[in-house]
A and B are shown apart, each in its own frame.
Chain A
Amino acid sequence: MPQRFTARALTPVLALIATVSTASAAETDITIGMQLEPPHLDPTSAAAGAIDNVVYSNIFEGLTRFMGDGSVVPGLAKSWDISDDGLSYTFHLQGDVRFHDGSAMDAADVKFSLDRARAEDSTNAQKALFTGIADVAVIDPLTVVLTLEAPNGNLLFNLAWGDAVIVASETIETIKSNPVGTGAFRFVKWVQGDRIDLVRNGDYWGTAPALEGATFKFISDPTAAFAAMMAEDIDAFQTFPAPENLPQFDADPRFKLLIGSTEGETILSTNNKMPPFDNKLVRQALAHAIDRQAIIDGAMFGYGTPIGSHFAPHNPAYIDLTGNSVYDPAKAKALLAEAGFADGFTTTLKLPPPSYARRGGEIIAAQLRAVGINAEISNLEWAQWLEQVFRGKDYGLTIVSHTEPMDIGIYARPEYYFQYDNPAFQDLMTRLTATADPDQRRAMLQEAQTVISTDYVNGYLFQLAATSVAKTGVQGMWLNAPTQAIDLTGISWAD
């Protein structure tokens, strides 16, 4: 019979194909899954976190760098002197540092990189990090002096960002497809749509990493990501996209969960210029109408830390302000009545694609309905969200996780999409930037958290958790995400 013939003919073919085994990777390599693929590999000209995931600290390094606990430590600058007036930073560079093409990294490269980032026609997504730098001067091959227009207590922190890494003028033309940096790993190959391969840099100036090579694999579909982990095709997955699968990994002895904190303040952004949200009572009512824990449990399967302001709980200057907006629907209704909306009102709730927004949005809409606010949900792609909500400010409410580290300064920008315009806060931020003393800075940061919390600028929901999954033998992956990065230099396999 034809059917049986087909089956019999196919069996050996399938068996043959099935036995072609891909060489099992030695335990000196690692394959790490990521949901998004980088558009290109130049961290200094795009905001995509996927770029930093691949290149930060692996391929490219800056004068300073973040560690997994969020601290800023020396990078390519081994030390620095700050003038008494705080206007001049003298950086002493590490000696004998070479780019992957063999050329020496020196002060001229530092000047080139910083001048390029702050130039008129720069396409650096975080150009604001470099405002206030008046001049970059080369003193000798290992000494650079940065002169500032005004003291800037954030400078060393700003220089640790992936957007501030040191690049070479000789290789800048091809950086997007063939990045040449100074890091512990060299770029080997990018199979677009599939993976990027890196190999250990034998000439690395610092401590040699334990890994000999690494592969970043791009799997956008959450179900496919789950299958790839379960089939052990990949060794770890950075920020696993489906929190509902995490308990299953936790129960499986082959895997472990890496739960930490990110810089992502997840907030119910509110259009402060659009009536009725221009009324502080209405915003306060919103804050009391929201049950954060229900959102964390329902949308994030319990992963996430409640926040009461726009500030990361792991930051030393953090203060817990969740008490300003405890869940109290009765109070919310009373506040709405006081504001003249006893019968509630209708507004828009525009949601970008991540699951925290889509799932969280459904829960928030239900909670708001309970106090009489009818939030009409519309789901947007990121490009639409950027166009309508972020640029066009055509929205009432939206949910976004603000993943940039220490970004409370966005509340000092009245044109920013939530349109909060408070001159006192703007003045506070100006003073903060000019302050270098750690104690004074902490006091000012705490004041800033309190101001936006008690002004109820946005609904403050939770700090996004870093939820990664790895095979049990993988050691040294970052738990927290002080910046978007998969730092390979500390990763090793247990014996």
Chain B
Amino acid sequence: MLRYSLKRLLSLGISLVVASLVIFAVIEVAPGDPARFMLGINAQPDTVAALRAELGLDVPKVQRYLAWVGGMLSGDFGISYTYRVPVGQMIADRMWVSLPLALMALTLSTVIALPVGLYAANRRGGRGDMAVMGLTQLGIAVPNFWFAMILVVIFAINLRWFSAGGFPGWDAGLLVGLKALTLPAVALALPQAAILSRVMRSALIDILSEDFMRTARAKGLTRQQALWRHGLRNALIPVLTIMGLQFSFLLAGAIIIEQVFFLPGLGRLVFQSISQRDLIVVESVVMLLVFAVIVVNFAVDLAYVAVDPRLRTQL
């Protein structure tokens, strides 16, 4: 187990170094100059040069890369070119929106998907199963931003139960904050729930034909009891894999939903920073997302072991 963990940590480290190089290279070659962007079309060349110097953009790229990586290692992400505040602080602020949103969406999709998948597998081929399959197919096909707009039309414009978007901040109260994140979380969660319930259903169906399930029934368990006690646990491995992927997607892929609901999250920060060529912010956020994905995958690997004792002996 220790050797396994060390090996995983080493590969994690190498992945991060490679990722930082690729991110820096790709973002730095994009055309556009943050100083020119900020000063607009009437600025004189000497003014642009003065701002470039002030921002430290006149320093060679290699030196800037080393400063960026070195800073990150000591927890300093640098100063945003456009906003002129520490990038670390900006990311932390935005995390307070993006992370709860991702967690809410993940919880919601799990709470919906697991029972639905279980129900469908249990009634395989029946009318209920057909309905679930049809609805989940629709859920996968409908893009979440379109679904988001429909939610806004119904719940914000017509019923007036919710605001059309925006985030008042957690200091306005926990319930106020949760309320602001409800529609976005639903919009994010439903397509994910559709995918997850199908995975859950097919994993369970595979399990149902296994020998140990027949043995369980032979022992005298009802179909329901066998499914709950033995089926569910064995079906969790593929479900965990998908949930791990979904969490990274929810964190990074909420860009469009954050636009639709004008939420001040990480996705919107990246979007704004790219158009303003606030390169250091883009680099740091992307790096952080890479880090999050790698860590989540690492955690999922460990979770396999917890769910499936057989994997422990193989390590």
Contacts and interface: CB of A to CB of B under 8 A. Distances in A.
A386 B40 CA distance: 8
A231 interface: yes
Interface in B144-186: 149, 152-153, 156-157, 160-169, 172-173, 175-176, 178-179, 182
Interface stretch (B67-75, B78-86, B237-245, B284-292): B78-86
Given A1-B119, A3-B116, A6-B115, A233 B43 contact: no
A223 B261 CA distance: 10
Contacts, number: 184
A47 B41 contact: yes
B262 interface: yes
Interface stretch (A118-126, A236-244, A286-294, A310-318): A118-126
A231 B37 contact: no
B33 A223 contact: no
Contacts of B90: 192
A223 B85 contact: no
A122 B41 contact: no
A279 interface: no
Interface string A29-49: 000000001011000011110
A230 B82 CA distance: 32
Contacts of B178: 17
B41 A228 contact: no
Interface SS of chain B: helix
A327 interface: no
B36 A391 contact: yes
Nearest to A9: B111
A94 B51 CA distance: 33
Interface string A375-417: 0000001111011101100000000101010010010000001
A194 B31 contact: no
B208 to A, nearest CB: 17
A192 B164 contact: no
A359 interface: no
Contacts of B15: none
B165 A227 contact: yes
Contacts of A218: 262
Interface residues of B, number: 67
A383 B277 contact: yes
A128 interface: yes
Contacts of B34: 383
A381 B47 contact: no
Interface in A417-434: 417
B308 interface: no
Contact of B39 (A47, A121, A191, A220): A47
Contacts of A297: none
Contacts of A233: 156, 163-166
Given A2-B118, A18-B162, A231-B163, A47 B265 contact: no
B51 A123 contact: yes
Given A40-B82, A48-B38, A6 B31 contact: no
A26 interface: no
A1 B131 CA distance: 14
A16 B176 CA distance: 11
Interface in A211-231: 217-221, 223-224, 227-228, 230-231
Given A3-B116, A40-B83, A192-B264, A383 B165 contact: no
B38 A46 contact: yes
A195 interface: yes
A174 to B, nearest CB: 10
B39 A125 contact: yes
Given A47-B39, A125-B39, 10 more contacts: A22-B172, A39-B38, A192-B264, A193-B93, A193-B94, A194-B166, A194-B167, A219-B166, A223-B149, A386-B41
In the complex, the 6 A-B pairs of residues with the closest C-beta atoms, listed nearest first: A47-B40, A193-B264, A383-B32, A2-B115, A39-B82, A227-B164
